[in-house]
């Protein structure tokens, strides 16, 4: 029960504020680095001569067959 005593003096708004701050930081991080991932994929796709093998039925995943012998699946974002 000693662990419960440690959290007894924390005001209820502090964990809420911490959670909102963490969520906002995550959104900023994703917005800042998501385009970089797309640029890396485009470079990989060009370097490995990837071509589309079509869209799977019922979802937004598209497959790309590359000269490395793998089929890479990418999530197609709706814009």
pTM of the complete model: 0.46
pLDDT in tens, 14-69: 889 999 999 999 988 888 776 666 778 888 889 999 988 876 555 556 788 999 88
The residue ranking higher by pLDDT, 74 or 17, is 17
Strands (E), 24-75: 51-55, 61-65, 71-75
Instruction: Tell me 56's DSSP state.
Output: P
């Amino acid at each position: 029960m000693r662990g419960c005593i440690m959290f007894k003096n924390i005001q209820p708004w502090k964990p809420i504020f911490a959670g909102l701050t963490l969520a906002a930081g995550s959104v900023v991080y994703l917005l800042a680095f998501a385009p970089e991932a797309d640029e890396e994929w485009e470079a990989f796709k060009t370097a490995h001569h990837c071509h589309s093998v079509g869209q799977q039925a019922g979802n937004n995943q598209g497959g790309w067959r590359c000269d490395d012998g793998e089929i890479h699946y990418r999530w197609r974002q709706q814009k």
